Structure 1
Amino acid sequence: MKRPTSQQRIGPRTLFRSLAWLRICAIAGQSSAVLVCALWMQLNIPLLPLLVGIGVLAVFAVFAAWRLAQPWPIREWETIVHVAVDTLILGYLLHFTGGASNPFIALLLVPIALGAAALSVGGVSAVAALAGVAYAVLLFWYVPLPVPMGGTSGGFSLHVVGMGVNFVIMALLLGFFINRLARAVRLQQLEVQRVRERALRDEGILAIATQAAGAAHELNTPLSTMRTLLPELRREHVGDAALADDLALLEGQVDRCRTILREMVAFGKAQLSQEPEQITLASFIHGCLERFQLLRPEAELTLTQDKDAARIMLRTPPGLRHALLNLLNNAADASAMNQSQAVALTARRDGGWLELIVSDQGPGFSATGELAVLGQSQKQTGLGIGLALAEATAERLEGELTTSNSEHGAQMTLRLPLAVIAAP
């Protein structure tokens, strides 16, 4: 199952992006309002100072767009500075258009509403204090709006119209931008939930690994005892050919168990040393398939490998081989559900990614397509602990494990970034 990803998180950068879009809308709206009042309604407003203020805001919008494109992290204080610049320019424009009596004075609340969803308590307090100071100043220091033709009633009608337009603008701005911030909150909650589930899964893996280490240590003694007794039993029953064959088979199985234990110890040492193995992709896959054929000799394996991908030199990290073997083993189990032994492996390069695709001819995944819960055997659907371990390995290597249904069964794709696993 493909893990959810989120590029958008609630915080200063999200608010910074919202302010950039809001600034563009403000420039368009302010320019339209000033031109309508000066040219169409013939109001005697200070046109030049207003256009200068809008021009300064446009220049600042260009700078903010450039800053947003930079890879440097955006701090909270930087976002507050941008809010302060927007507030000062808005206060400058309101100063020449009636001050606090202008119905658009309510626009000072927009930065506070947006900051409340993305800033800390101190940041929101600073933005609110700045907006409050601007409002208090505009109560006493402003240029009155000229009264339109028609006297007092005409001025009141214009004020009512301005209040209506301001209500529509506030509703649209708050509805759109707060919805964007709320969406970022939901995405962050999903990310937190995914991290929590991953932590629980890793705890289960650690518990199983601890039990496996203890079992390996305890099994070494009885295996050594059996390895000592089996040759003596063969010498005591030299004349019994059937028993000798059975004892030889048992001796081979004991040696195989000891080999598996030694591989477990070697894998643990490699995991601790974090020393990757330098090997080509073709050699890596060849070794995995040899091991798989020993474990599942009945499987009918088909390999498809790009020539360009085969020459890639891998810095094979510990665990990748076991992840691929787990996927192949699960595929063999799934194919056996439909009385088939077919398993297919495709290795290819997709840009900067290496894709290892394992296909089977089983019943496929369920409609939910979710991975098995760690520790619960679900072999009837081709899932088990091996798939969870493979997903953990993919995440540790900054890759992903996706599952899907193909025409003949299920398909599991292990995508790994070459920047992490390929040798320079």
Structure 2
Amino acid sequence: MSDISVRSAAEDAFASRSDWVRLRTLVILRWTAVAGQLAALFAAWRFYGIDIPAAPCLAIVGLSVAVNLASSLLYAENHRLTEGEALTLLAFDSCQLTALLYLTGGLGNPFALLLLVPATIAATALNGLSIAILGGLTVLLVSLLAVLHLPLRYLNGAEIVVPAILANGFWLAIVIGVAFMALYTRRVSGELHAMSDALLATQMALAREQTLTDLSGVVAAAAHELGTPLATIKLAAGELADDLSDRPDQQADAVLIGAQADRCRDILRSMGRAGKDDLQMRAAPFQAIVEEAAEPHRDRKARITVATRGGGRPQPVLARRPEIIHGLRNLIQNAVDFSNGAVWIDLDWAAERVSLVITDDGPGFPPALLGRIGDPFVRDRARSDERRPQYEGMGLGLFIAKTLLERTGARLEFTNASDPFLAAEERPARCGARVRVSWPRDRVEMAQHDISGQNQRF
């Protein structure tokens, strides 16, 4: 799966909130509400001496019981609700609670606060239009309760009076609560689901890179194992061709067999160039790993220059981990996409750390987004159509790179190489985005005894 298809799949999953809620979830919540309503009615009558209109209240509670029973009979427990079904059931819950509050004091009833629950659930699981519809319905019901309700009375007939200022305050608090809870819950749930989708895309990208690595090892092993029989076929075909010098037709067949053996050898050699499951190929010099990550982007618009600054010290040999190669490849791709024609990769290493810096000559990171780079689905609409319209500025590639590299112990720093507000003639050659990646050397370096050991059999 390509990086673009990974991004598209994650974005589609994030954009659609349909079928997130199981019917069983709402049924369980409604049973809990029924139990709580019955307990509250009983406590108000038995312990506080409040005159409750028992028959109509029990009828309204019984309506919730009927809806639950009907839902359980008509649908399977694991039925996923559509957008319309979820909205209808949540609207019913709001109306049912409103009817119960109408009989028990309206907004003077402290349980009026529970009108926030359906709107909060909608903000968690439904789309914007459904949230707006249910939020508007809740505000309407609260406003009706503020002026239309039966007063609460004690058993002796005395009315429980709530001061007007408190009643108005209850109305305002619930209306503000609906808006605040909807916005807050929507934001938090959106970030959680975005992170979940982005992590899924990261796992898919890593699985793809691991599959390619494993496949190249299998092909290389096959090439190695088939080398001897192909050489035998080539040798036998040559001797047979010499023996059949007096039979030109059969000699041509023998020559053809030898040529096809050579072709098989060349095909296997080319397929196995990516690597093999060899202890020597599980590690490579630092520069070779970076070159491998940059290779797919060398034929594109930007000139990629790799330089080493090791101060004369021997170059470290690192593990060829798929996370490192794919993470660096995404960072280099981002630099190439936004560059004006040049990308520089500077490698450095010391006794304790290994690091590289990727710099381009493009416009650099937007200053307003510097603190958010590495988060999934970061959008910069002002530039999204300018360089990479197919990505729509999602930032998912950088998130994948950051996540994969951090799994290997890397630390990433995103900065600009120069002030993005300088005039064009004042900007240096390396004026664009700069990404620094560094690892503790002991986390990525391969020990010599791990490299020079005996090859493992497949």
Provide TM-score, normalisation by structure 2. Answer: 0.38
Provide TM-score, normalisation by structure 1. Answer: 0.41
